[in-house]
Structure 1
Amino acid sequence: MSKRDYYEVLGISRTATSDEVKVAYRRAAAKHHPDRNRGNEATAEVAFKECKEAYDVLSDEQKRRAYDSHGHAAFEHGMGGGGGPQFHDVGDIFGDIFGNIFGGGGGGSRGPRRGADIGYILELDLEDAVAGVEKRIEIPTLLECGTCKGSGSSDGKIERCSGCNGMGQVRMQRGIFQMQQPCPQCHGRGQVIVNPCGACHGNGRIHDEKTLDVKVPAGVDTGDRIRLSGEGEAGPAGAPAGDLYVEVRVRPHAIFERDGDDLHCDVPIRISQAALGDEVRVPTLKGDAEIRIPAETQTGKVFRLRGKGVKSVRSRSEGDLYCRVVVETPVNLTAEQRELLEQFEATFVGEGARRHSPKHSTFMDGVKGFWDRMVG
């Protein structure tokens, strides 16, 4: 039986970019994965491996050039054509072309594959991320079938595969070369189940949810991942489970904004506090702290509180808290307050008023320069 064109297998044009090749492969692999084709696993596995073989060639620039020049013959007779891969012996062909498809250098790998890794997004409040916390999560995944204990057999009867004599691999002739591929009868396991388990249909796994307690270390930030070994999908036919990767996402905070190990916040103060000076209490993640506002403080002035930030999960050093002062305009004035402000404003008269406004001269100079450029 002749091989299908690799571009046809992935459903792409011969001018497809490397990104388009990758996207097409993921789509095709997901469609033909045996776990998604219950009752038709054998056919699905053949199609899945066909997709993998096409991707291994088309995703490699040298192999793709050789294939475009010579087709499948480039890999059947050791041709290098057009700058493609140069094979020096049969082992090179198996290792470079078929190793990834069949599990490594000519002999392949026996037994069922390891369970898939899975990911989970864990959202945390800033306080929990900084202090550390233990969270209980529920994850939909493939679990070992409790009925057959992951064996896939209803009665424990598992026999050596007659198609490959228990080796899990069969030899096939391709041109002058012989190569090995997983046995289509046992799908590379080397064994066949006589009476499949009714609960999991011989797969050894079932779709369900499991509950886990995740210990989140202090100081984590958005993007950090926690690996839980063996908590991913159960492997088929008793193979080892994959891993679970819990990715942290820290929710926006009402007061603080995090920048690495440092925290930033705005501190509103009254105009009288800014003008006369004052002591102001500010919140931190470790309790209240106090900052001294000197007289004549302007909006935007930043005060640094050392060690009031986040203790790094990696270096264990502590960041700082930066408090930016924002001078607020008073609202909802009483008649008395309005009168006092009017009296206060009346004191700013003549050229002497400018000395009370530190940015006035700079602003007016900028305005004059702007209009000069516009007129000029």
Structure 2
Amino acid sequence: MSKKDFYQTLGVTKSSSPEEIKKAYRKLAMQYHPDKNQGNKKAEEKFKEISEAYEVLSDAEKKKNYDMFGHAGVNGNPFGAGGGAQGGNPFGRGGGNPFGGGFGQADINDLFGDIFGEAFGGGGARTRSSSSSSQRGSSRKGADLRYTLSITFEEAASGTEKVISFVRQVGTKEEAAKLSVTVPAGVKEGQRLKLSEEGDKPSSGSAGDLYVIISLQEHLLFKREEADVMLDLPVKYTEAILGTEIEIPTLTGKAQIKIPAGIYSGQVLRLKGKGFPRIGGIGNGDMLVRLLVDTPQKTNSRQKELLEELNRYAEETPLVKTYKEKLENLLRSRK
């Protein structure tokens, strides 16, 4: 199968400047990087293609050979069956790792700076991110790894400890590893927990780090608003009129809440200190209980009779009264 033209792969021309070639590669690499396309084989192949093209076109000597002899000028001896030290593999190590040899991890870092350090979320259990330190020479820092850890609202509120399993590179081999992760109370969605030197470990040089990314599971009843937790609480229309006391769930147990007589739908009651702990702050957030007055869709004849009698003696309610006053002012201003 014939290889694709490197210039077409990057969307550049022979007359493009080194900066234009770098810019084109950077844009495509951000789009097709494996960390952003977990399990997408087409994206993985595309990333290999653009990485191979950039490895050649970013090197003046290799670009010159490519312009003169095409792919034969890159893969070793353009006049015969040579092959050189790396043969037809511009990445050195092979095996599908675009960071292996060739222009290598250090050049990737020079190209992207800190872009990949935060750009890739942990879509799967294990994500390899680009290393954050220089790797030229024999001493290299292992790649940083990412692990997405899913926890419940209740675990985020009280803190928890989880044992995670993942795979990392140790020397030239892959190793199955298990670690205990302490999750502090009050963690938020997307928060990173850093486990120093628990990432890939090269034969020589320092180990990379493992970043555990917190993912909060969706709760059946609660929603989070910073350190506060919100609960939508439906109440019967009779309870809204007469008032009542209701037991509700909290992040750490249960609580009794008093519903005052005459409440309206959308009114929010606050339970102090029943929210999430404030990391780096003092105390806890609050629990916000939003009342939703629930009216029946059907009434029997007796209920309808009582409601009609109640309606005859009902006084004007506050919200209706306020609305009518505003409406009168509006109509008066239009005359």
TM-score by length of 2: 0.62
Instruction: Tell whether 2:22 aligns with 1:22.
Output: no
**1:80 maps to which residue?**
none
- The one-letter code sitting in structure 2 at the alignment partner of 1:22 is R
Cα separation, partners in 2 of 1:18 and 1:362, compared to 1, 3 Å:
farther
Cα separation, partners in 2 of 1:40 and 1:288, compared to 1, 3 Å:
closer
**2:251 maps to which residue?**
285
Unaligned ranges ≥5, structure 1: 1-6, 60-99, 104-108, 145-203, 349-354
Instruction: Tell whether 2:197 aligns with 1:230.
Output: yes
Contact 1:10 1:51 in 2 (8 A): no
Cα separation, partners in 2 of 1:324 and 1:53, compared to 1, 3 Å:
closer
Unaligned ranges ≥5, structure 2: 1-6, 31-46, 56-89, 116-132
Q: Distance in 2 between matches of 1:50 and 1:293?
A: 63
Contact 2:140 2:204 in 1 (8 A): no
Q: Render the CA deviation track for 1:76-128: whole Å, top value 9, x for unaligned.
A: xxxxxxxxxxxxxxxxxxxxxxxx9884xxxxx4x241210011111111011
Cα separation, partners in 2 of 1:255 and 1:35, compared to 1, 3 Å:
farther
Cα separation, partners in 2 of 1:268 and 1:50, compared to 1, 3 Å:
closer
Query: Any residues of structure 2 matched to 1:1-376 within 5 Å, and which?
Result: 12=12, 13-14=16-17, 16=20, 20=24, 22-24=26-28, 27=47, 31=52, 34=91, 37-38=94-95, 45-48=101-104, 55=111, 103=136, 109=137, 111-142=138-169, 144=170, 204-235=171-202, 237-348=203-314, 355-364=315-324
Shift, 1:320, TM fit = 1.0
- The one-letter code sitting in structure 2 at the alignment partner of 1:114 is K
Q: Distance in 2 between matches of 1:251 and 1:130?
A: 13
TM-score by length of 1: 0.56
- The one-letter code sitting in structure 2 at the alignment partner of 1:214 is V
- The one-letter code sitting in structure 2 at the alignment partner of 1:45 is G
Q: Distance in 2 between matches of 1:40 and 1:303?
A: 56
Contact 2:151 2:216 in 1 (8 A): yes
Cα separation, partners in 2 of 1:223 and 1:134, compared to 1, 3 Å:
same
Cα separation, partners in 2 of 1:372 and 1:205, compared to 1, 3 Å:
farther
Q: Distance in 1 between matches of 2:161 and 2:27?
A: 37
Shift, 1:331, TM fit = 4.0
Q: Distance in 2 between matches of 1:280 and 1:40?
A: 59
Q: Render the CA deviation track for 1:124-178: whole Å, top value 9, x for unaligned.
A: 1101111111222222332x3xxxxxxxxxxxxxxxxxxxxxxxxxxxxxxxxxx
- The one-letter code sitting in structure 2 at the alignment partner of 1:229 is S
User: What is the SS of the residue equivalent to 2:311?
Assistant: helix
Contact 1:25 1:51 in 2 (8 A): no
CA root-mean-square deviation: 4.0
Shift, 1:49, TM fit = 7.9
User: What is the SS of the residue equivalent to 1:318?
Assistant: coil
Shift, 1:222, TM fit = 0.6
Choose between structure 1 and 2 for higher RCO, CA contacts under 8 A separated by at least 6 residues.
1
- The one-letter code sitting in structure 1 at the alignment partner of 2:241 is A
